[in-house]
Amino acid sequence: MPSRPYLVLSAAVSADGYLDDAGPQRLILSGPADLDRVDEVRAGCDAIIVGANTVRKDNPRLLIRDPRRSARRAARGRPEHPIRVTLTATGDLDPQARFFAANAPGADRLVYCATPALPRARARLGGAAELIDAGDPASLSLMLKDLSERSVARALVEGGAQLLGAFLAQSLADELQLAVAPFFVADPAAPRLNIPPGGPDGPASPMTLAETRQVAEVVLLRYLLGPGGPDHRFLAWAVELARQSPPSETAFSVGCVIVGEDSQVLSTGFSREQEEHDHAEEVALRKLTPGKLGQDPRLRHATLYSSLVPCGARASRPLTCVQHIVAARIPRVVYAWDEPPLFTAGDGAAQLRTAGVALTELPDLAERARSSNTHLVQP
């Protein structure tokens, strides 16, 4: 089991980087289209995390808004809503806050509390939430370890500024999703991301830009974070994509990201994303050139990242992923996990090397890749 969940930080900021203004009311930085995008991100997560100040000031519900998304989660055997999580140093929370509402199926409430404040939190909250000792001072790492032990594989952090900054400073995040609003706040008293000293390396260790997208009036910037530079980050994203695969008893769950020579993400895919027998690599290739699999000239200088080494044998379709990669003339493949000999002999790596494809294995991500396939292979 991975030591912590895959962690996505989400924030909306003004064009000059503010999370809010200094007024008493919350400044609305994004519109309905971006709120719907965030709702979709929520639906793909096992938990939503906010700081105690956000619970007090914003009084969020932290539920999936679109009932169709909740229904799709339920159809796959998941709770209708993610677990709601907060972290407090003082235990000073109102049990009547919407965070603690018990009217959402599956939306458990977890409060991680600094050790000295536990008695106060128990007295105030009673049975409104499960209280967990987070150490003294309250530790983000302890919280994430406990969430992982509760089978939380993906968590979304929605605020506030102090909590987002703490995750960044301690290098505990995998993605940062910034929605940039088309106006300025220009108020030094307004909050920004509060990153403590000794945090990330800044310009010496830049984030990896994975996506830019216009969402109505805002622009979404999606950055990958974490150690190891772009190779590790793109592969970690591919590993995370595998979790979106519909479950199968006869095929692995795999994620794939294809990145061009200029570090632009060309395509992504996951197992059974479009058709029942899809492999992640062929989905990603098909998206680039529908009907002409692997014929995009950009692939000749691309890197393919796959959570599992591409298959060298398969029964479901005549061409293997290795054959697709070689035909597309992709020169480099990076993968996390060697294929166990469960369905085939698992010799995809040897076939790629024989074909002259440069192969890089990052085995430190293998455990996370395996965790999407525990129904087939026990850890």
Binned at pLDDT 50, 70 and 90, residue 268 comes out as very high
Sequence length of the chain is 379
> In sequence order, what are the beta bridge partners of 11?
178
Binned at pLDDT 50, 70 and 90, residue 197 comes out as low
Instruction: Mark 108-136 as b/e (b = at least 16 C-beta within 10 Å).
Output: bbbbbbbeebbeebeeebeebbebbebee
DSSP 103-128: -STT--EEEEE-GGGHHHHHHHHTTS
- What residue ranges in 37-191 does DSSP mark as E strands? 47-51, 83-88, 109-113, 130-133, 154-159, 175-180
pLDDT of residue 315: 81
CATH 3.40.430.10 intervals, the chain: 6-226
pLDDT digits (tens, 9 = 90+) for 269-287: 999 999 999 999 999 999 9
How far apart CA 121 and CA 266 sit, in angstroms, is: 49
Judged by DSSP in three states, 49 sits in strand
- Which amino acid, one-letter code, is at 46? D
pLDDT of residue 339: 79
pLDDT at residue 107 tops 90: no
- Computed over every residue of the chain, the mean pLDDT equals 92
- Confidence (pTM): 0.91
Helices 321-328, 280-288: crossing angle, 10 deg rounding = 30
pLDDT of residue 253: 94
Judged by DSSP in three states, 22 sits in coil
pLDDT digits (tens, 9 = 90+) for 125-137: 988 999 999 999 9
Residue range 230-371 forms a domain whose CATH class is: alpha beta
pLDDT digits (tens, 9 = 90+) for 26-39: 899 999 999 999 99
> In sequence order, what are the beta bridge partners of 112?
87, 132
pLDDT of residue 247: 84
**Mean pLDDT lowest among 134-138, 158-162, 331-335, 341-345:** 341-345
- Per CATH, the architecture of 6-226 is what? 3-Layer(aba) Sandwich (3.40)
pLDDT of residue 379: 59
Average pLDDT (6-18) is: 96
CATH 3.40.140.10 intervals, the chain: 230-371
Residue 126 contacts by C-beta under 8 Å, 6 or more apart in sequence?
A: 95
pLDDT at residue 202 tops 80: no
Average pLDDT (224-238) is: 93
pLDDT of residue 374: 84
> In sequence order, what are the beta bridge partners of 178?
11, 221
Q: How many angstroms from the chain centroid is the CA of residue 315?
A: 32
Strand bridging mode 218-224 / 265-270: unpaired
